[in-house]
Amino acid sequence: MPINTTPLRAEFPALSSGRAYLDGPGWTQVPRQVIDRMVDYLIDKNANTGGAFATSQASDALILEARSALADFLNAPDPGQIVFGPNMTSLTLSFSRTLALELKPEDEIVVTRLDHNANVSPWMLIARDRGCTVRQVDFDVEDCTLRLDQLDQCLNERTKLVAVGYASNAVGTINPVPEIIRKAHRVGALCYVDAVHYAPHGPIDVQALDCDFLVLSVYKIFGPHLGVLYSRKDLLAQLRPYKVRPASDLPPEKFETGTQNHEGIAGALGAIEYLARVGERFGSEHAERYGAQFSGRRLLLKQAMGAVRAYESELTRVLLPALESIEGLRIYGITDSRALDRRTPTVSFTLQGLSPQRVAEELAQEGIFVWYGNYYALDVTERLDLEKSGGMVRVGLVHYNTLSEIERLVAGLQRISAKAAIP
């Protein structure tokens, strides 16, 4: 059966407030399962790792269980390929520093203008420090899709790394990541995929992608503030991280500097358990598509994300024309209803005569929460010539949002627009 938001929303304590949380790309709300997991950890398992006593051993077991859950979510071959960190940005900065040790001055790195800056600046910084060249792939300003012809022009035998987002957190575009990875590998380059924005909106299979690195943020998939990185086993074994001397020399622990956020890791396990339950309750129609390849929790998670993708596509199909009907409103990104498979339900726009900040503030007064600005996708707002005027307003839906919330949003924007038009 398709997703039914009534029982689903009841699992999220925050959603009973009456507020319309349309800020999913910035932070998602958490279900009771996540809260319970974190509380249980802090009461019954709160300890550092590697000890001889019960709570320490329980912490060790929980961390391994959480690695296994994230491995299932990504279809990683082994839990040991899952690295935890404070957030995607910190993990990427750390791994960029590690990868810099492998670079020479004649080497080149490819980034895109459609990415969150966390998948741009770290690579530019190590290129500066190592004397490497950075090549940047542009996007089409008409529909905010990557210029793959430019990617072909950037790639050569000197390319060592291609950094790309699975989807744009600014305009919702889903990039052709499998094709980009194949192109990178064809010239012998590694590919670093930022899946933070895509992860709450569709299934991810790192084995099918054949990616070298993939990062996501748990707080974007209905969990607490935590970053997760997947990498190939051989890379995790051979890379030399910056670490303190007594720390483990074995992956994944050798990449996890200092004591980790154990209660956050417990919450991450709760988030995956919640999503698996979504797959069990609402994803049966997707079982045939994934059943031949997956089983157990991995199958339930693929069913969940298939159901999420289908439900959110219907929300987007309503949201886009509703926004376009508002006079003076301009959407940036894909608006063609025939191309919804190439975007997430994240829609950014400007409203003529009003700053994005004012629009967000006025909606907030009505209990409708949206973002404004550049969302750290600075290259996007600069390329669209919007940075100086305050960026864009961003509406980001996830699977707990409803058609009635879209109606509230549109009515609110109509009132704001009409009020601004009064001399």
For the stretch 270-312, pLDDT in tens is 999 999 999 999 999 999 999 899 999 999 999 999 999 999 9
103 vs 87: CA distance, rounded Å: 25
The CATH number covering residue 208 comes to 3.40.640.10
Check whether residue 169 and residue 248 sit in a common domain. yes
Check whether residue 357 and residue 239 sit in a common domain. no
- If pLDDT is split at 50, 70 and 90, which confidence band does 20 have? very high
Check whether residue 99 and residue 52 sit in a common domain. yes
Contact 345, 314 (CB under 8 A): no
Please report whether residue 281 resides in a domain. Answer: no
Check whether residue 240 and residue 256 sit in a common domain. yes
Check whether residue 336 and residue 400 sit in a common domain. yes
Please report whether residue 293 resides in a domain. Answer: no
What pLDDT was estimated at residue 258?
A: 92
Check whether residue 122 and residue 229 sit in a common domain. yes
Please report whether residue 166 resides in a domain. Answer: yes
Please report whether residue 264 resides in a domain. Answer: yes
pLDDT tens for each residue of 339-378: 999 999 999 999 999 999 999 999 999 999 999 999 999 9
What pLDDT was estimated at residue 43?
A: 98
Check whether residue 341 and residue 194 sit in a common domain. no
- Range of lowest pLDDT (1-5, 195-199, 343-347, 395-399): 1-5
Domain count, the chain: 2
pLDDT tens for each residue of 79-115: 999 999 999 999 999 999 999 999 999 999 999 999 9
Q: Of 256, 273, 290, which one is at a domain's C-terminal end?
A: 273
Contact 386, 310 (CB under 8 A): no
> Whose structure tokens read 């006079």?
327
For residue 249, pLDDT beyond 80:
yes
Contact 338, 422 (CB under 8 A): no
For residue 423, pLDDT beyond 70:
no
Check whether residue 257 and residue 322 sit in a common domain. no
- 126 by Cβ neighbours in 10 Å (0-12 / 13-18 / 19+) ranks as buried
Check whether residue 217 and residue 94 sit in a common domain. yes
Of 132, 75, 110, residue with least CA distance to 192: 110
The CATH number covering residue 404 comes to 3.90.1150.10
The pTM score is 0.97
Q: Quick one: which H or E segment has residue 402?
A: none
Of 93, 27, 23, residue with least CA distance to 271: 27
What pLDDT was estimated at residue 245?
A: 87
Task: Indicate the DSSP class of residue 58.
Answer: H
317 vs 327: CA distance, rounded Å: 19
What pLDDT was estimated at residue 1?
A: 67
What pLDDT was estimated at residue 246?
A: 86
Check whether residue 23 and residue 37 sit in a common domain. no
For residue 6, pLDDT beyond 60:
yes
Please report whether residue 123 resides in a domain. Answer: yes
Query: Domain span at residue 25?
Result: 5-31+302-416
